[in-house]
C-alpha cells in the first residue's frame, strides 16, 4: 500500500495526465500538425510539475500504438482519421497512463470509438481487490462483442510500479483464463483497444520511441554526456529525441541505437488494416473498488 505522500504523487501525476490527454484530444483537427499536438501535451505535463512517463503517442487509424512525431515531422491530421492520444506523467516515479480517441471531422467510427470507452468504463465499475485478470478480459471482450467489434488480443493493460511503466501483471482484453488477481496496493492501467479488423497487431515501421537497453562505458565524451542527460531527464522511462532539450538529440539517439545502448519500439499495426480505437485509465487499487487516478 502507498503511504499518503506516495498516493498524493500518484494522484497528481494521474490528474495531470488526464488534463494533458483532454488537451491533446481538443487540439486534434484537420490540417493540424501531429508535432504541434505532441509538443503541447508534453509541455503541459512539464509545466505542471511532472516529468514524462513516455512520449505522447499519436497513433492513427490502423496504427494502434507507438507512433510519436520526430523532430522535423510535417505530418498533419486528415479528415476521417481516427486518432489515439496516449500520454503519461510521472512524479518521482509514480505514473499516470491514459488515452482517448477522437475522429477528425466525421462520425463514421463513432460506434468503434464508443466501444473501447464503454469497455474501459465497464471495467471501472468492478475492478478491485481480488478480481481475477480473466474476469477483466471477459468483461472487455463481451462488451465489445455486443457492439460488433473485437479487442486487440495481443495488446494488454499492465501493472505499474515506481519507475517501471510495465511491471508485474498484464491485464488482458479477452478471457485468457488467467486467475491471478488484482490486489490492494497495486497501480494498474486498463487500456482496451477495439477494432473492426481481425483483433491482433503486428510490428510495423520502426518508430521514434526508445529506451535505455543497457548501460556501459562509452568512449565518445559527447555520447556519454548525452546518456547522462537522458538518465537524469527520463530516468528509466521511454523517451524520444523530440522530447529532449539537448543539441543534436536526434543524432545522439541514432548513435546510441547503433551501439546497442538504446533499443526502439516498432509501431503496432492491426494485422488486417482494421481501424483501432483506445481508451485507458490508471487505477489505484484500495479495497473493493479501484480509484481512477487519471481523471482531469
pTM for the whole structure:
0.97
* Average of per-residue pLDDT across 270-283: 98
Q: Please, are residues 103 and 113 in contact by the beta-carbon 8 Å criterion? A: yes
Q: Hey, which bits of 141-289 come out as E strands? A: 150-151, 157-161, 164-171, 187-190, 193-195, 201-212, 262-270, 276-278, 281-285
Give the residue numbers annotated as catalytic, written as ranges.
86, 97, 158, 166, 191, 280
289 pLDDT exceeds 90?
no
Q: Hey, which bits of the chain come out as E strands? A: 51-60, 63-65, 82-91, 94-103, 150-151, 157-161, 164-171, 187-190, 193-195, 201-212, 262-270, 276-278, 281-285, 290-292
* Domains of the chain and any CATH numbers: 4-204+266-292 (3.90.230.10), 209-265 (1.10.10.10)
* Average of per-residue pLDDT across 263-281: 98
Q: What angle do CA 61, 25, 269 make, to 5 degrees?
A: 20
CA distance 12 to 49: 9
Task: Band the pLDDT of 287: cuts 50, 70, 90.
Answer: confident
What is the pLDDT, as a whole number, of residue 183? 97
- Tens of pLDDT along 43-71? 999 999 999 999 999 999 999 999 999 99
**Above pLDDT 90, what percent of the chain?**
97
- Tens of pLDDT along 222-265? 999 999 999 999 999 999 999 999 999 999 999 999 999 999 99
What is the pLDDT, as a whole number, of residue 121? 98
- Tens of pLDDT along 184-229? 999 999 999 999 999 999 999 999 999 999 988 888 999 999 999 9
- Tens of pLDDT along 101-121? 999 999 999 999 999 999 999
Amino acid at each position: 500500500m502507498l503511504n499518503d505522500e506516495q498516493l498524493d504523487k500518484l494522484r497528481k501525476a494521474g490528474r495531470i495526465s488526464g488534463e494533458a490527454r483532454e488537451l491533446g484530444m481538443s487540439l486534434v483537427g484537420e490540417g493540424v500538425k501531429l508535432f504541434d499536438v505532441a509538443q503541447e501535451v508534453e509541455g503541459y505535463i512539464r509545466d505542471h510539475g511532472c516529468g514524462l512517463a513516455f512520449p505522447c503517442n499519436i497513433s492513427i487509424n490502423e496504427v494502434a500504438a507507438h507512433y510519436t512525431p520526430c523532430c522535423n515531422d510535417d505530418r498533419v491530421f486528415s479528415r476521417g482519421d481516427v486518432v489515439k492520444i496516449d500520454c503519461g506523467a510521472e512524479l518521482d516515479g509514480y505514473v499516470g497512463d491514459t488515452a482517448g480517441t477522437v475522429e477528425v471531422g466525421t462520425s463514421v467510427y463513432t460506434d468503434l470509438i464508443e466501444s473501447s470507452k464503454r469497455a474501459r468504463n465497464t471495467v471501472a465499475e468492478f475492478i478491485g481487490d481480488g478480481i481475477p485478470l480473466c474476469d477483466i478480459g471477459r468483461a472487455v471482450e463481451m462488451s465489445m462483442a455486443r457492439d460488433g467489434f473485437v479487442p486487440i488480443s495481443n495488446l494488454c493493460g499492465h501493472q505499474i510500479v515506481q519507475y517501471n511503466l510495465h511491471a508485474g501483471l498484464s491485464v488482458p482484453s479477452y478471457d485468457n483464463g488467467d486467475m491471478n488477481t488484482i490486489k490492494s496496493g497495486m497501480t494498474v492501467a486498463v487500456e482496451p483497444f477495439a477494432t473492426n479488423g481481425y483483433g491482433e497487431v503486428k510490428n510495423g515501421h520502426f518508430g521514434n520511441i526508445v529506451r535505455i537497453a543497457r548501460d556501459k562505458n562509452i568512449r565518445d565524451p559527447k555520447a556519454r554526456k548525452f546518456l547522462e542527460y537522458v538518465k537524469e531527464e527520463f530516468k528509466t522511462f521511454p523517451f524520444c529525441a523530440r522530447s529532449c532539450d539537448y543539441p543534436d538529440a536526434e543524432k545522439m539517439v541514432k548513435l546510441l541505437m547503433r551501439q546497442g545502448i538504446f533499443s526502439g519500439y516498432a509501431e503496432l499495426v492491426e494485422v488486417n488494416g482494421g481501424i483501432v480505437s483506445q481508451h485507458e485509465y490508471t487505477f489505484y487499487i484500495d479495497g473493493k473498488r479501484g480509484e481512477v487516478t487519471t481523471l482531469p
